[in-house]
Amino acid sequence: MFDDKKEDYIKKAVSDFETVLREQINRSERMKDGENNPSHKADKDITIGLIGGDGIGPVIMKEAERLLRELLAEELEAGKVSLKNIEGLTIENRTALGKSVPEDVLSEIKSCDVLLKGPTTTPKGGTMESANVTLRRELDLYANVRPVSVPEEGIDWTFFRENTEGEYVLGSRGIEIPDVLTMDFKVTTEPGTRRIAKAAFDFARANGKTNVSIVTKANIIKKTDGSFSKICHEIAAEYPEIEAEDWYIDIMTANLVNKDIRNKFQVFVLPNLYGDIITDEAAEIQGGVGTAGSANLGSRYAMFEAIHGTAPRMVEEGLANYANPSSIFKAAEMMIRHLGFTEKADRLAEALYICSEKEKKVVVTGTAEGAKCSEFADYVISRL
């Protein structure tokens, strides 16, 4: 049966691949032309979009909004900042419409300057891509920045994960020949790599860092990862005071749990998939994925989010109200700092340190034996 259709499958696969190849060439050319990099709006008023998402998302976002209203009370009162709740980015609505991000929701999102977003569910299988992948592409949020800090162990890491390419850009566009094979694609463009590399080295220079680790698997994935490493080193040549080191993703994964050497690392720059995986490992070293925030940065928009998922088991077991909001609070701190409210961001960072590391008078465990999400939020607000 397959032999009869083999040539048809091959012809369709070739045709589909030509389509995605032309699309990615055009995307690369647009990046070179600066078409994806419009400037920020000239007006100084800031609109913060709040997106609840799925699962425990609405629970933790409710407390994050309460926190923002406390921290930004003066700016909200003066009209310099406004909060906008964006509905419709739920798995139910997205599935019903067959859209990873429905058009009306995307329009609302684009009316904001920055976003604070809860986790969203991505269906397994099928053709609907992740809402995050769609948002990163539509808003051109090319840099995913994740800080991890464990001061008592000398750990102060900042990860720059390329956010719009790699395995994710065509994750729903692979080839499938039933009962024979499946193939997916990985994309690395020159302008896409240059801008993430420059973001990492600019950060290192601005913050007095002396080491940037370029993490790939270029010894095996020679075209895409090889190109990523080569371009990063070309950018590194513009920063002679900073040491650029090549590491393979497998040994770097081991290095992060090696207490003898892990405190030597400072800044990391990685392709999309490796960055996604290794930052979860790093967050676990810090205290769990519930403790880490994430920034998605572009030239026009910025999106800040918790790095954990929707925790469906907690929801099924009736424990959503016991979810830990630390990750979304950390994301809120990163967002406030990005907006230039440094003193307020410092206050929140100190409050989170006191509540999570120093005093620990209210502890969220994710079980009914621990504190509720709202109780931990009360605790943090009381320490601002």
**CATH number of the domain within which 360 lies:** 3.40.718.10
Looking at the structure of the chain, the number of domains it has is 1
In-domain check, residue 292 = no
**pLDDT for position 228:** 97
Residue 55, domain extent:
42-141+298-384
In-domain check, residue 344 = yes
pTM of structure: 0.80
Banded pLDDT at 124 (limits 50, 70, 90): confident
Q: How many other CB atoms are found less than 10 A from the CB of residue 209? A: 18
Burial 350-375 (b: 16+ CB within 10 A, else e): ebbebbbeeeeebebebeeebbbbee
Q: For residues 79 and 115, is the Cβ–Cβ distance under 8 A?
A: no
In-domain check, residue 87 = yes
Mean pLDDT of 264-268: 98
Pairing of strands 243-248, 211-216: parallel
The DSSP code for 262 is G
Report the alpha-carbon distance of residue 178 to residue 344 in Å, rounded: 55
Report the alpha-carbon distance of residue 219 to residue 247 in Å, rounded: 10
In-domain check, residue 206 = no
Helical pair 342-353 and 373-382, crossing angle rounded to 10 deg: 120
| Amino acid found at 101 | V
In-domain check, residue 209 = no
**pLDDT for position 290:** 65
Q: For residues 373 and 358, is the Cβ–Cβ distance under 8 A?
A: no
Report the alpha-carbon distance of residue 102 to residue 93 in Å, rounded: 8
For the chain, the 3-state helix, strand and coil shares in percent, each to the nearest 5, are 50, 15, 35
**More confident position, 336 or 30:** 336
Report the alpha-carbon distance of residue 349 to residue 343 in Å, rounded: 10
What is the torsional sign of CA 184, 132, 351, 206?
A: positive
**pLDDT for position 68:** 98
- For 44, 221, 229, the CA distances from 213, given in Å and listed in that order, are 36, 18, 10
Q: Residues near 140 by Cβ (< 8 Å), separated by ≥ 6?
A: 36, 37, 164, 298, 299, 300, 301
In-domain check, residue 337 = yes
In-domain check, residue 312 = yes
pLDDT tens by residue, 271-286: 999 999 999 999 899 8
**pLDDT for position 42:** 37
In-domain check, residue 125 = yes
